[in-house]
Amino acid sequence: MIRRALHTVRAARSGVAAVEFALLTPVLFLMLMGLFDLAYNLYTQTLLQGAIQDAARDSSLEDADATTATIDARVTKAVKDVAPGATLSFSRTSYTSFSSIGKPEDYTDTNKNGRCDAGEPFEDVNENNAWDSSQGINGLGGSRDVVVYLVTVTYPRPFPVAKLMGMSSDFTMNARTVLANQPWDNLAKTPPIGKCP
C-alpha cells in the first residue's frame, strides 16, 4: 500500500515536471533569443564605433577629400563582416570650432522677438546666403575645422525575437565622432554679414 502510494506520488511529480518544462521552455527560449539579439547589437555598435574613430582620424588629414570613398568603404567592410545585410549612410558636417557645433548662426535681434527676421544682420558662417539654425557646412571643411562624422547603419536582426514582440525586424543604430582637421594651412575665415529675410 505504501509502495503504491509512493509510486503514485513519483509518477505525479514527473508529470508535473514535464508540464512545468513545457510551460517554461518557450519563455526561456524567448529570453535567450532576446539576450543573443542584445549582445549582437552591442557588438555591432562597438565595432562600428571603433571603425568610425579610425576613419575619422583619416578624414582629418589634408588629402582626405580624395579618399572619402575609400574611408567609407573601410567602415562599410568592417560592419558588413558582422552584419552582411547592413545598409550604411554617411554624413560629414564641418564647423569652425567645437563650441559652434549645434549652435545657430549669430544674429542681432533688433526687434527683440527672438527670431532672425525683418532684415536683421547675421553672420553667414556656412555662406549659403540664408540664416540657419546650425552653423555646419556639409563636407569635410578645411584646415583646423571641426568635423562631425555620422554613420547610420540599418540591418536585419539575426534573431526573430523583435518580430515576435511586435517590433521592427530591422535594427538601426547611429555612431558619431567629432575631430578637428589637421592644421595644413593657416587660413583665418571671417564670415560675411547677411540680412535676415
Q: What average pLDDT does the segment 8-30 reach?
A: 73
Q: What average pLDDT does the segment 106-122 reach?
A: 84
Task: List the beta bridge partners of residue 175.
Answer: 151
Identify the band that residue 88 occupies on the pLDDT scale cut at 50, 70 and 90: very high
C-alpha cell at position 180: 578637428
Q: Would you state the pLDDT for residue 87?
A: 93
At which residue does the C-alpha cell 568603404 appear?
73
Q: What average pLDDT does the segment 176-195 reach?
A: 73
The ranges assigned to domains in the chain are 2-195
Strands 121-123 and 193-195: antiparallel
Reported as type and span, the H/E element at residue 172 is strand 170-180
At which residue does the C-alpha cell 554679414 appear?
193
d(CA 84, CA 156): 9
Q: Is the pLDDT of residue 158 over 70?
A: yes
Q: How many CB atoms lie within 10 A of CB 134?
A: 15
103: left (phi over 0), alpha (psi -120 to 50) or beta: beta
Kindly report the backbone phi and psi dihedral angles of residue 121, in degrees, each rounded to the nearest multiple of 5, phi listed first.
-75, 145
